Amino acid sequence: MSSRDYYDILGLKKGASLDHIRKRFRKLALRYHPDRNPGDPISEEMFKLVAEAYHVLSDHIRRHLYDHKGSEGLKEKGYRGFERTEDVLRSFASDFFDFLGILGPNRQPHPSRGADLCYQLELSSEEAASGAEKHIQVSTMETCPKCRGNGVKQTSLLQDCPLCHGSGKYTATSGIFTAIGECAKCNGKGSLRSLSCDSCNGQGRHEIKKDLLVHIPAGVENNTRLKISHEGDGGELNGEEGDLYVDIRIKLNPP
């Protein structure tokens, strides 16, 4: 992930509201969606960039880090963005469903897989030759244990859902598509808890630092990438964890 201006990618200024970020993502994601641009590699690349920009700027922790340290700061924390279109479609499936207005009668929010992370590990030539065990620390997003990923205080009062105004039903129209079904925000209940979880600020996840032991096989070569399954970001709504990739860099011995 090279240095990128996520605000510029979305056509926004720094300090843009979350509502403006969502609107620009919606517009650009639909413009560059693979189904609308079959076989177009430029549109596919733009689709991934737009999704990456939204993924960073819509999350208050990632956005804070990006605003202060840029994309290099995200890289230092192991953020890799989206390398494959399939990763974008899987992560934002519910968003695209909403954008098209096709809700279906019994649609429920579904868990999404967490992001893969990357960590750069430096080894001496001796360690690479003989193998080693290295302790590393990575920052990952984990499901909030207090709200169990829902983002709301379970003890807070109920209020009418702002999307369906308490009816539990939602009508959406997009082009030739019109759908009437269960409200996707409140799941047809017509009401929501009024207060966000104070542990995760309503995000459903929070950042933690995790200590891991990495086993380095003997004879490992420079630029080798090791995969540690399920040690990336935790998924939203208790979805599957992403993976952690450890990139090996071997220090050259001084002449």
CATH number of the domain encompassing residue 7: 1.10.287.110
Residues 135 and 29 reside in one and the same domain: no
Beta-carbon contacts of 5 under 8 Å, excluding residues fewer than 6 positions away, are none
Position 176 in a domain: no
Residues 152 and 235 reside in one and the same domain: yes
Position 188 in a domain: no
* Rounded CA separation 166/189 (Å): 8
- Please identify, among 79, 100, 124, the residue that sits at the C-terminal boundary of a domain: 79
Position 87 in a domain: no
Position 242 in a domain: yes
Position 90 in a domain: no
Residues 73 and 115 reside in one and the same domain: no
* Rounded CA separation 66/50 (Å): 15
pTM: 0.49
- Mean local confidence (pLDDT), 164-193: 60
Residues 120 and 239 reside in one and the same domain: yes
Residues 22 and 73 reside in one and the same domain: yes
User: Does pLDDT of 179 surpass 70?
Assistant: no
Beta-carbon contacts of 68 under 8 Å, excluding residues fewer than 6 positions away, are none
- Please identify, among 60, 79, 98, the residue that sits at the C-terminal boundary of a domain: 79
Most confident of 72-86, 159-173, 178-192: 72-86
Tell me the CATH number at 215: 2.60.260.20
Position 28 in a domain: yes
Contact 231, 138 (CB under 8 A): yes
What pairs with residue 140 in β-bridges?
208
User: Does pLDDT of 174 surpass 50?
Assistant: no
Residues 221 and 148 reside in one and the same domain: yes
- Mean local confidence (pLDDT), 152-166: 72
Position 71 in a domain: yes
Contact 5, 70 (CB under 8 A): no
User: Does pLDDT of 246 surpass 90?
Assistant: yes
Q: What is the pLDDT of residue 96?
A: 53
Measuring CA to CA, which residue among 113, 105, 108, 60 is closest to residue 89?
Answer: 113
Residues 65 and 119 reside in one and the same domain: no
Residue ranges of E strands in 12-108: none
* Rounded CA separation 57/62 (Å): 7
Q: What is the pLDDT of residue 110?
A: 61
Position 23 in a domain: yes
Please give the tally of structural domains in the chain: 2
Residue-wise pLDDT for 199-227, tens only, equals 887 777 888 899 999 999 999 999 999 99
Residue-wise pLDDT for 87-131, tens only, equals 776 666 555 545 544 333 334 456 778 888 889 999 999 999 999
Q: What is the pLDDT of residue 91?
A: 66
Q: What is the pLDDT of residue 130?
A: 95
H-run or E-run covering 137 = strand 132-143
Beta-carbon contacts of 35 under 8 Å, excluding residues fewer than 6 positions away, are none
* Rounded CA separation 66/21 (Å): 15
Domain range spanning residue 70? 1-79
